[in-house]
Amino acid sequence: MPVLSLRKISKNFGAIKALTDVDLELEPGEVLGLMGDNGAGKSTLVKIIAGNFPPTSGELVLQDRPMHFHRPAEAREAGIEVVYQDLALCDNLSAAANIFLGREIARSIWPLKFLVSKDMTDKAGALFGELKSETRPHDLVRRMSGGQRQAVAISRTMLSEAKIVLMDEPTAAISVRQVAEVLDLIRRLKDRGIAIVLISHRMPDVFAVCDRVAVLRRGRKVAEKPIVQSSPEEVTGLITGAIQHA
Amino acid sequence: MPDTEAGATHPDIGDIRIEDVVGIKEQTAFERVISSQAFWVTIALIGIVALMSYLQPDAFASQANAYNMTRNFAYIGIMAVGMVAVIITGGIDLSVGSIMGVTGVVCGILLQAQYGWYIAVVAGLATGVVTGLINGLLIAYAGLSPFVVTLGMMSFARSIAIVLSENKMIYDFGPDGAAFKIIGGGQMLGLSNIFWALIILAVLIGVILKFTTWGRHLYAIGGNEQAARLTGVPVNRVKTQAYILSALTASIAAILVVGWQGSAINALGTSYELRVIASTVIGGANLMGGEGGTYGAVVGAALLEVIRNSLLMQGIDSNWQGAFVGVFIVLAVLLEKIRGRRRA
Ligand SMILES: Nc1ncnc2c1ncn2[C@@H]1O[C@H](COP(=O)(O)OP(=O)(O)O)[C@@H](O)[C@H]1O
Ligand SMILES: [Mg+2]
């Protein structure tokens, strides 16, 4: 049974048709590569799944239950976590503070909630350990490399029992060496049975970690197939329109 | 991040960083302290006090002068520890001086009308809460710029103070006047109540900033408001509360100062907002948001007062004060910038 099914999802921004009748299914523990040129509608699709805004039409079904998210918090409660393109981290806070941002472990002494820093630091350390990342809980995000920032953003998704993690261009703007780190992080999430949607422009990354690939072109899904039955050449053709359908 | 470039082009050098080479794993508490602006401002403060105590042992280092100086910076400090919450979110509150004015007048009128001292205190605090709430709602929910909203409130509140007072000084405080005056005019252990109020508020707000979720959320909003929103931080509510806190501390300062001076004038607090903001910035708060603390705000306020007092004692024309204060503000920001560059 798929964890997530999208049925005939469309999204218009005024006159712009960002998405048209997109169907998509996601199985548990599967990594789906979502590819397409700039403006193809990838981020829009991710934002709909994440509850940033509702689709103009179409249905979003999570484990047999139709969902209507109005806020990102609702999607998160349903088990959908997002690693945003710009990572959405606070540079001035520590790694642990970022992981627990908005859901701090706290002891309530009315009217205040006191942070239980030790528990958060320990848990953050355990998550980094699990990801085999060298990131340290106390380090300020401002001082981190791109790969370490990714580890922080990804650890955040592991805090809750997420079923689905959406990653928008996690390997854009980081070095080759750090890309390998991030791909490892993705494999570890997959091992935990989490379904992942990976948006990437980088063909090698998609072919390294994805089980299936879906291609969007001008808001329409033009292909969806197992990665082993495709090739970088075919996907490139689908993205540019040289190949119409697959 | 130059090390990422190096990692890509020289794989053998990789991501080796200074910290790894010299074996420093994490910034120690000691390093954190000496890299903080508040630390250096404290050193400057101690230096000036030591120098002045040497130059003017009788006048400067006297018990009376210590009493005066601690009282004079205390009410600016009280406002500064509230202001710092707003500045941490990346906002600004220009209305604190005027809120002080209107609070003073409200207290004065009630005392003059024979109401009890506690009625005057509660009404004064309520004045702060209401003005802060208006600021906060307009900034957080209507999305208006903090600069513009609080500039408007600065003008509005001052005008209300003048209208309510009918442009007269209020000094006939009625039967509870004596009790009200003790709050702000009294002393304990040789220091003014206003100073003790500052210490209590600085510790209390300091603890809230560093050890509660609310404080954490203030820093998060100042660091990356969009990220805070996406992760479910109640950004609008927290911001509104920060402006309420700032206005509330201005009202507390007003209640204490009116009690100390024994009269309420509508001009109370005029131009204090600049001294308050200067105190927080000198103490290490970043006007771009995300950084600052109550200890810094207090030593910043203390430094400004010690400079003012020292110039006076050295017989330097008091008109030079502004110039010195200006130089210190710019120096503080420059220092912050240099440290920021080294960090990056
Ligand atoms: N909030 C928005 N308002 C108006 N148009 C938008 C908005 N978000 C995206 N679009 C438009 O929708 C289309 C798809 O954008 P997007 O999903 O960001 O593409 P991708 O992530 O694949 O590059 C583009 O034409 C873009 O300009
Ligand atoms: Mg995009």
Per-residue model confidence as pLDDT tens digits over B105-146: 999 999 999 999 999 999 999 999 999 999 999 999 999 999
Q: Do B230 and A136 touch (CB under 8 A)?
A: no
Query: What does the pLDDT read at residue B10?
Result: 36
Query: What does the pLDDT read at residue B91?
Result: 97
Query: What does the pLDDT read at residue B335?
Result: 77
Q: Do B212 and A102 touch (CB under 8 A)?
A: no
- Total domains present in chain A: 1
CA-closest candidate to residue B114, choices B165, B174, B164: B174
Query: What does the pLDDT read at residue A168?
Result: 87
Q: Does B341 touch chain A (CB under 8 A)?
A: no
Contact B111, B120 (CB under 8 A): yes
**Ligand 2 mean position, distance from CA A44 (Å):** 7
The DSSP bridge partners found for residue B72 are none
* N-terminal to C-terminal alpha carbon distance within chain A: 24
CA-closest candidate to residue B69, choices B59, B83, B79, B81: B59
Task: Say how many C-beta atoms besides its own lie within 10 A of residue B111's C-beta.
Answer: 28
Pairing of the two strands A57-62 and B191-192: unpaired
* B21 pLDDT more than 80: no
Contact B280, B87 (CB under 8 A): yes
Nearest CA to ligand 1 atom 17: A41
B255, two tokens: 């209640």
What is the average pLDDT value for chain B, to the nearest integer? 89
Mutate one of B5, B88, B207, B224 to test the A interface: name it (highest A CB count within 10 A).
B224
Q: How far is CA A196 from CA A189, B199, B213, B273, in A?
A: 8, 52, 31, 51
Query: What does the pLDDT read at residue B19?
Result: 42
Query: What does the pLDDT read at residue B18?
Result: 43
Q: Is residue A246 part of a domain?
A: no
Q: Do A73 and B232 touch (CB under 8 A)?
A: yes
Indicate the length of chain B as a whole number: 344
Q: Phi and psi of A215, rounded to 5°?
A: -120, 130
From A77's Cα to the closest Cα of chain B, the distance in A is 11
Contact B233, A104 (CB under 8 A): no
The DSSP bridge partners found for residue A106 are A115
CA distance A91 to B211: 19
pLDDT < 50 stretches in chain A: none
* B15 pLDDT more than 50: no
Residues of A in contact with B219 (CB under 8 A): 90, 92-93
CA distance B300 to B170: 32
The DSSP bridge partners found for residue A37 are none
Q: Is residue A31 part of a domain?
A: yes
Report the residue of chain B nearest A114, measured CA to CA: B212
CA distance B2 to A236: 32
Contact B84, B76 (CB under 8 A): no
Query: What does the pLDDT read at residue A158?
Result: 85
CA distance A130 to A111: 36
Q: Does A90 touch chain B (CB under 8 A)?
A: yes
Q: What is the per-residue pLDDT across B259-273, written as a single tens digit (0 to 9) for each?
A: 999 999 999 999 999
What letter does residue B320 receive in the DSSP assignment?
A: G
* B31 pLDDT more than 70: yes
Query: What does the pLDDT read at residue A87?
Result: 67
CA distance A140 to A129: 18
Q: At A137, which CATH number?
A: 3.40.50.300
B-facing residues of A in 9-48 (CB < 8 A) are none
Residues of A in contact with B26 (CB under 8 A): 136, 138-139
The DSSP bridge partners found for residue B242 are none
Query: What does the pLDDT read at residue B25?
Result: 44
CA dihedral A84, A88, A94, A97 (to 10 degrees): -90
CA atoms within 13 A on the CB side of B259: 27
Q: Is residue A86 part of a domain?
A: yes
Q: How far is CA A76 from CA A83, A103, B42, in A?
A: 12, 12, 45
CA distance B211 to A40: 45
Q: Which residue has the tokens 């997420």?
A: A162
* B176 pLDDT more than 70: yes
Which distant-in-sequence residues (6+ apart) come within 8 Å of B10 by Cβ?
A: none
* B189 pLDDT more than 90: yes
Residues of B in contact with A114 (CB under 8 A): 211-212
Which residues form the domain of A68? Answer: 4-240
Q: Is residue A245 part of a domain?
A: no
CA distance B67 to B142: 44
pLDDT band at B62 (very low <50, low <70, confident <90, very high): very high
CA distance B177 to B171: 9
Whether A18 is in the pocket of ligand 1, judged by its Cβ within 6 Å, is yes
Q: Do A92 and B208 touch (CB under 8 A)?
A: no
Q: Which of A11, A13, A46 to mutate to test the pocket of ligand 1 (most atoms within 8 A of CB)?
A: A13
Q: Which range among A234-243, B18-27, B306-315 has the greatest average pLDDT?
A: A234-243
What chain B holds in terms of domains, given with CATH numbers, is 64-343 (1.10.3470)
* N-terminal to C-terminal alpha carbon distance within chain B: 8
Higher-confidence residue of B8 and B142: namely B142
Contact A62, A4 (CB under 8 A): yes
Query: What does the pLDDT read at residue B267?
Result: 96
Query: What does the pLDDT read at residue B342?
Result: 54
Q: How far is CA A239 from CA A82, A215, A235, A242, A246, in A?
A: 24, 7, 6, 8, 11
Query: What does the pLDDT read at residue A116?
Result: 96
ipTM here: 0.84
Q: Does A107 touch chain B (CB under 8 A)?
A: no
